[in-house]
Amino acid sequence: MLTLTPDAAAAIAAHAEATYPDECVGLLLGRLEADDKVVLGVFRAENRWQGQVTLAEGDDPTSRRDRFYLDPRDYMRADREARSRGLELVGVYHSHPDHPAAPSERDRVGAQAIGGTSFAFVIQSVRSGSAAELASWLLVDDGARFEQEEITIWP
Ligand SMILES: [Zn+2]
């Protein structure tokens, strides 16, 4: 289960709206308690997608509207910030402009490079510039598929 403070949830929504119609990306700072994760802050990263991967013909390789790239250096910066606050990285978030909060095949491949088995992959849907549904996913079966996990906003 993933628990977000109202402030953390609002920060993800605001970031997703600010980068619309491009995807945003960031890290979740918090505490891991058994399999439960509590998110107490967010770290806004830059979507550094610049066509790092060759895609299908006809695809615009520089578009950030349906993909993101999380630079490992940003991951390290977020990790340092988490440690300085006595927290740890418990997940990553990105937005889906005008798409449901369900992970794409590209997300599944990308997620295999980030985090461990309990790492949360949070997706914020944005519709016409306004934050919509929020969902959290866990990579299971050795990265073969995502499984949705429950989100609680608390307190
Ligand atoms: Zn995605």
Domain assignments of the chain as residue spans, ordered by start: 2-50+87-153
List residues, by chain if needed, whose CB lies under 5 Å from ion ligand 1: 104, 107
CA of 24 from ligand 1 middle (Å) equals: 10
CA of 3 from ligand 1 middle (Å) equals: 21
In the predicted structure, residue 43 carries a pLDDT above the cut 70? yes
Residue 38, strand partner residues = 3, 31
CA of 17 from ligand 1 middle (Å) equals: 15
pLDDT digits (tens, 9 = 90+) for 81-137: 999 999 999 999 999 999 999 999 989 988 888 877 789 999 999 999 999 999 999
CA of 137 from ligand 1 middle (Å) equals: 11
Closest CA to 93 of 5, 8, 1, 6: 8
What pLDDT is attached to residue 35?
76
128: which 2 tokens? 């016409």
What pLDDT is attached to residue 58?
73
Q: Is residue 47 helix, strand or coil?
A: coil
Q: Predicted confidence band at 53 (pLDDT cuts at 50, 70, 90)?
A: low
CA of 16 from ligand 1 middle (Å) equals: 12
CA of 21 from ligand 1 middle (Å) equals: 13
pTM: 0.94
pLDDT digits (tens, 9 = 90+) for 8-19: 999 999 999 999
What pLDDT is attached to residue 110?
87
* Mean pLDDT, all residues of the chain: 92
CA of 139 from ligand 1 middle (Å) equals: 13
CA of 145 from ligand 1 middle (Å) equals: 14
- φ and ψ at 87, to 5 degrees? -120, 180
CA of 131 from ligand 1 middle (Å) equals: 15
Residue range 69-76: average pLDDT?
Answer: 93
Residue 107: C-alpha distances to residues 69, 81, 119, 141, 155 (Å) = 10, 25, 14, 15, 30
CATH topology of domain 2-50+87-153: Cytidine Deaminase; domain 2 (3.40.140)
In the predicted structure, residue 51 carries a pLDDT above the cut 90? no
Q: Predicted confidence band at 66 (pLDDT cuts at 50, 70, 90)?
A: confident
Residue range 37-64: average pLDDT?
Answer: 83
In the predicted structure, residue 59 carries a pLDDT above the cut 80? no
CA of 83 from ligand 1 middle (Å) equals: 27
